Amino acid sequence: MASQPARIVSAWRPAVPGVVEVFHARFTEYAYPMHVHDAWTLLIVDTGAVRYDLDRHEHGTPHDTVSLLPPHVPHNGSPVTPEGFRKRVLYLDRTYLGDELIGSAVDRPDLRDPLLRKRVGQVHGALLRPGEELEAESRLLFVGERLRGHLRGDSDKPRPADPVLARRLRELLDERVVEGVGLQEAAGLVGAHPAHLVRAFSAAYGIAPHQYLTSLRVGRARRLLLEGRSPGEVAAEAGFYDQSHLTRHFRKLVGVPPGRYRAGGPTGRGVG
Protein backbone atom coordinates (compact mmCIF):
# COMPACT_ATOMS: atom_id res chain seq x y z
CA MET A 1 0.00 0.00 0.00
CA ALA A 2 1.45 3.36 -1.01
CA SER A 3 2.32 5.74 1.78
CA GLN A 4 0.38 8.97 2.12
CA PRO A 5 2.10 12.26 1.28
CA ALA A 6 3.51 13.92 4.39
CA ARG A 7 2.54 17.50 5.24
CA ILE A 8 3.63 18.23 8.80
CA VAL A 9 3.93 21.84 9.86
CA SER A 10 4.27 24.01 12.96
CA ALA A 11 4.15 27.79 12.91
CA TRP A 12 4.20 30.52 15.52
CA ARG A 13 5.10 34.16 16.09
CA PRO A 14 7.67 34.53 18.87
CA ALA A 15 8.14 37.54 21.12
CA VAL A 16 11.32 38.49 19.27
CA PRO A 17 11.50 41.84 17.46
CA GLY A 18 11.73 41.53 13.70
CA VAL A 19 10.51 37.94 13.45
CA VAL A 20 7.16 37.84 11.65
CA GLU A 21 6.80 34.05 11.77
CA VAL A 22 8.67 30.83 12.50
CA PHE A 23 7.70 27.95 10.20
CA HIS A 24 8.91 24.35 10.47
CA ALA A 25 7.66 21.81 7.94
CA ARG A 26 8.17 18.39 6.40
CA PHE A 27 6.72 17.84 2.93
CA THR A 28 7.04 14.95 0.49
CA GLU A 29 4.97 15.50 -2.62
CA TYR A 30 3.73 19.04 -2.05
CA ALA A 31 4.89 21.74 -4.48
CA TYR A 32 4.44 25.47 -3.86
CA PRO A 33 2.99 27.46 -6.77
CA MET A 34 4.45 30.84 -7.68
CA HIS A 35 3.82 33.27 -4.83
CA VAL A 36 5.34 36.19 -2.93
CA HIS A 37 5.92 37.14 0.71
CA ASP A 38 5.93 40.62 2.20
CA ALA A 39 8.82 39.60 4.48
CA TRP A 40 12.33 38.23 3.99
CA THR A 41 12.38 34.42 3.92
CA LEU A 42 15.41 32.87 5.63
CA LEU A 43 15.41 29.14 4.90
CA ILE A 44 17.50 26.13 5.87
CA VAL A 45 16.78 22.57 4.75
CA ASP A 46 17.67 19.80 7.22
CA THR A 47 16.87 16.76 5.08
CA GLY A 48 16.33 16.43 1.35
CA ALA A 49 16.46 19.43 -0.95
CA VAL A 50 14.18 21.96 -2.59
CA ARG A 51 14.34 23.36 -6.09
CA TYR A 52 12.74 26.70 -6.78
CA ASP A 53 12.49 29.46 -9.36
CA LEU A 54 13.22 33.03 -8.29
CA ASP A 55 12.96 35.86 -10.81
CA ARG A 56 12.81 33.26 -13.63
CA HIS A 57 16.06 31.54 -12.58
CA GLU A 58 16.27 28.07 -11.05
CA HIS A 59 17.95 27.58 -7.66
CA GLY A 60 18.33 24.83 -5.07
CA THR A 61 18.77 24.39 -1.34
CA PRO A 62 21.14 21.56 -0.42
CA HIS A 63 21.51 20.96 3.29
CA ASP A 64 24.75 22.96 3.63
CA THR A 65 23.34 26.27 2.40
CA VAL A 66 21.26 29.13 3.75
CA SER A 67 18.67 30.48 1.33
CA LEU A 68 17.47 34.07 1.57
CA LEU A 69 14.45 34.99 -0.55
CA PRO A 70 13.61 38.70 -0.71
CA PRO A 71 10.14 40.15 -0.22
CA HIS A 72 7.80 40.81 -3.17
CA VAL A 73 9.81 38.64 -5.61
CA PRO A 74 7.81 35.65 -6.98
CA HIS A 75 9.12 32.17 -6.30
CA ASN A 76 7.87 28.60 -6.08
CA GLY A 77 9.28 25.42 -4.51
CA SER A 78 9.13 21.65 -4.82
CA PRO A 79 10.98 18.59 -3.43
CA VAL A 80 13.85 17.17 -5.45
CA THR A 81 13.34 13.52 -4.43
CA PRO A 82 10.29 11.39 -3.50
CA GLU A 83 11.43 11.49 0.13
CA GLY A 84 10.70 15.20 0.18
CA PHE A 85 12.35 17.67 2.52
CA ARG A 86 12.33 19.05 6.05
CA LYS A 87 12.89 22.77 6.41
CA ARG A 88 13.02 25.56 9.00
CA VAL A 89 12.10 29.09 8.01
CA LEU A 90 12.28 32.51 9.60
CA TYR A 91 10.21 35.30 8.09
CA LEU A 92 11.92 38.59 8.95
CA ASP A 93 10.74 42.18 8.61
CA ARG A 94 12.90 45.14 7.56
CA THR A 95 14.57 45.32 10.99
CA TYR A 96 17.42 43.10 9.83
CA LEU A 97 17.46 43.59 6.06
CA GLY A 98 16.36 46.64 4.10
CA ASP A 99 14.81 46.89 0.65
CA GLU A 100 18.10 48.15 -0.79
CA LEU A 101 19.43 44.58 -0.48
CA ILE A 102 16.66 42.94 -2.54
CA GLY A 103 18.61 43.09 -5.80
CA SER A 104 21.64 41.35 -4.29
CA ALA A 105 19.44 38.65 -2.78
CA VAL A 106 17.77 38.00 -6.15
CA ASP A 107 21.19 37.58 -7.77
CA ARG A 108 22.53 35.19 -5.12
CA PRO A 109 19.86 33.74 -2.83
CA ASP A 110 21.72 30.55 -1.83
CA LEU A 111 24.64 31.20 0.51
CA ARG A 112 27.25 28.54 1.25
CA ASP A 113 28.43 29.63 4.68
CA PRO A 114 28.76 26.93 7.38
CA LEU A 115 29.02 29.46 10.21
CA LEU A 116 25.92 31.31 9.05
CA ARG A 117 24.01 28.05 8.78
CA LYS A 118 25.08 27.05 12.28
CA ARG A 119 23.96 30.40 13.65
CA VAL A 120 20.56 30.19 11.93
CA GLY A 121 20.09 26.75 13.48
CA GLN A 122 20.98 28.18 16.89
CA VAL A 123 18.32 30.85 16.49
CA HIS A 124 15.73 28.16 15.76
CA GLY A 125 16.90 26.19 18.79
CA ALA A 126 16.42 29.19 21.07
CA LEU A 127 13.01 29.95 19.56
CA LEU A 128 11.83 26.44 20.43
CA ARG A 129 12.53 27.01 24.14
CA PRO A 130 10.08 29.31 25.96
CA GLY A 131 11.85 31.98 27.95
CA GLU A 132 14.90 32.20 25.66
CA GLU A 133 13.79 35.24 23.68
CA LEU A 134 16.86 37.27 24.70
CA GLU A 135 19.14 34.52 23.39
CA ALA A 136 17.18 34.28 20.15
CA GLU A 137 17.29 38.05 19.68
CA SER A 138 21.04 38.15 20.36
CA ARG A 139 21.81 35.33 17.94
CA LEU A 140 19.56 36.80 15.27
CA LEU A 141 21.44 40.10 15.38
CA PHE A 142 24.63 38.36 14.27
CA VAL A 143 22.75 36.38 11.63
CA GLY A 144 21.49 39.69 10.24
CA GLU A 145 24.98 41.17 10.24
CA ARG A 146 26.42 38.19 8.39
CA LEU A 147 23.61 38.24 5.83
CA ARG A 148 24.20 41.93 5.18
CA GLY A 149 27.90 41.22 4.78
CA HIS A 150 27.17 38.62 2.11
CA LEU A 151 24.75 40.86 0.24
CA ARG A 152 27.04 43.89 0.35
CA GLY A 153 30.25 41.98 -0.26
CA ASP A 154 31.75 43.16 3.02
CA SER A 155 34.46 41.14 4.72
CA ASP A 156 34.40 40.51 8.45
CA LYS A 157 36.07 43.47 10.12
CA PRO A 158 37.24 43.63 13.74
CA ARG A 159 35.24 46.05 15.88
CA PRO A 160 36.89 48.24 18.52
CA ALA A 161 36.37 47.37 22.19
CA ASP A 162 33.89 49.47 24.16
CA PRO A 163 34.21 48.65 27.88
CA VAL A 164 32.13 51.65 28.96
CA LEU A 165 29.18 50.49 26.88
CA ALA A 166 29.64 46.94 28.18
CA ARG A 167 29.53 48.17 31.78
CA ARG A 168 26.35 50.14 31.14
CA LEU A 169 24.61 47.04 29.81
CA ARG A 170 25.88 44.98 32.74
CA GLU A 171 24.46 47.51 35.18
CA LEU A 172 21.13 47.43 33.35
CA LEU A 173 21.01 43.63 33.51
CA ASP A 174 21.92 43.74 37.21
CA GLU A 175 18.95 46.05 37.79
CA ARG A 176 16.51 43.87 35.84
CA VAL A 177 17.34 40.33 36.86
CA VAL A 178 13.72 39.26 37.25
CA GLU A 179 11.87 41.31 34.63
CA GLY A 180 14.69 41.18 32.07
CA VAL A 181 15.20 43.56 29.15
CA GLY A 182 15.10 43.10 25.39
CA LEU A 183 18.06 44.14 23.29
CA GLN A 184 16.12 46.76 21.36
CA GLU A 185 15.05 48.41 24.60
CA ALA A 186 18.52 48.11 26.11
CA ALA A 187 20.09 49.63 23.01
CA GLY A 188 17.70 52.56 23.23
CA LEU A 189 18.47 53.11 26.90
CA VAL A 190 22.24 53.15 26.44
CA GLY A 191 22.29 54.76 22.99
CA ALA A 192 23.93 52.02 20.93
CA HIS A 193 23.15 49.65 18.07
CA PRO A 194 21.94 46.28 19.47
CA ALA A 195 24.60 44.23 17.65
CA HIS A 196 27.38 46.54 18.83
CA LEU A 197 25.99 46.31 22.34
CA VAL A 198 26.10 42.50 22.37
CA ARG A 199 29.57 42.44 20.83
CA ALA A 200 30.95 44.97 23.32
CA PHE A 201 29.52 43.06 26.27
CA SER A 202 30.80 39.68 25.07
CA ALA A 203 34.27 41.09 24.39
CA ALA A 204 34.48 42.75 27.81
CA TYR A 205 33.18 39.90 29.96
CA GLY A 206 33.69 36.75 27.91
CA ILE A 207 30.01 35.87 28.10
CA ALA A 208 26.94 36.86 26.08
CA PRO A 209 24.31 39.09 27.72
CA HIS A 210 21.69 36.33 27.79
CA GLN A 211 24.17 33.98 29.49
CA TYR A 212 25.05 36.64 32.05
CA LEU A 213 21.38 37.27 32.86
CA THR A 214 20.67 33.56 33.16
CA SER A 215 23.60 33.19 35.57
CA LEU A 216 22.20 35.96 37.75
CA ARG A 217 18.78 34.32 37.76
CA VAL A 218 20.22 30.94 38.73
CA GLY A 219 22.13 32.61 41.58
CA ARG A 220 18.91 34.21 42.80
CA ALA A 221 17.14 30.85 42.52
CA ARG A 222 19.83 29.18 44.65
CA ARG A 223 19.33 31.69 47.45
CA LEU A 224 15.55 31.30 47.36
CA LEU A 225 15.78 27.51 47.38
CA LEU A 226 18.06 27.59 50.41
CA GLU A 227 15.42 29.71 52.16
CA GLY A 228 13.06 26.77 51.79
CA ARG A 229 11.05 27.94 48.80
CA SER A 230 9.73 25.37 46.34
CA PRO A 231 11.09 25.21 42.77
CA GLY A 232 7.68 26.24 41.45
CA GLU A 233 7.69 29.41 43.53
CA VAL A 234 11.32 30.15 42.80
CA ALA A 235 10.95 29.97 39.01
CA ALA A 236 8.75 33.05 38.77
CA GLU A 237 10.56 34.99 41.50
CA ALA A 238 13.92 34.44 39.85
CA GLY A 239 12.75 35.54 36.39
CA PHE A 240 12.26 32.20 34.65
CA TYR A 241 9.41 31.44 32.25
CA ASP A 242 8.27 28.41 34.24
CA GLN A 243 9.65 25.60 36.40
CA SER A 244 10.98 23.60 33.45
CA HIS A 245 12.83 26.70 32.25
CA LEU A 246 14.40 27.04 35.70
CA THR A 247 15.26 23.35 35.84
CA ARG A 248 16.97 23.34 32.44
CA HIS A 249 19.32 26.19 33.30
CA PHE A 250 19.77 25.24 36.95
CA ARG A 251 20.89 21.73 36.00
CA LYS A 252 23.24 23.17 33.37
CA LEU A 253 24.93 25.64 35.74
CA VAL A 254 24.75 23.83 39.08
CA GLY A 255 24.88 20.19 37.98
CA VAL A 256 21.68 19.02 39.67
CA PRO A 257 17.98 20.00 39.40
CA PRO A 258 16.53 22.53 41.85
CA GLY A 259 14.66 19.94 43.92
CA ARG A 260 17.78 17.94 44.60
CA TYR A 261 19.75 21.08 45.37
CA ARG A 262 17.09 22.18 47.86
CA ALA A 263 17.17 18.78 49.56
CA GLY A 264 20.91 18.91 50.15
CA GLY A 265 22.59 20.14 53.31
CA PRO A 266 25.28 19.48 55.91
CA THR A 267 23.80 16.09 56.91
CA GLY A 268 25.69 14.18 54.24
CA ARG A 269 23.02 14.02 51.57
CA GLY A 270 24.71 16.73 49.54
CA VAL A 271 23.90 17.99 46.08
CA GLY A 272 26.80 16.52 44.15
Per-residue confidence (pLDDT) for residue 1, from 0 to 100: 41
**Which tens digit of pLDDT belongs to each residue from 184-198?**
999 999 999 999 999
Q: How many domains is the chain partitioned into structurally?
A: 3
- pLDDT confidence of 178, banded at 50, 70, 90? very high
User: CATH number for the domain including 95?
Assistant: 2.60.120.10
CATH at residue 235: 1.10.10.60
What is the model's pLDDT at position 270? Answer: 45
Q: 108-143: per-residue pLDDT in tens?
A: 999 999 999 999 999 999 999 999 999 999 999 999
- Does any domain span residue 1? no
Q: Do 97 and 215 reside in the same domain of the chain?
A: no
Segments forming the whole domain that contains residue 226 = 211-263
How far apart are alpha carbons 28 and 123 in whole angstroms?
Answer: 25
The better pLDDT of the pair 153, 165 is held by: 165
Q: Does 196 share its domain with 215?
A: no
Reported as a pLDDT band with limits 50, 70 and 90, residue 60 is: confident
144 and 201, same domain (yes or no): no
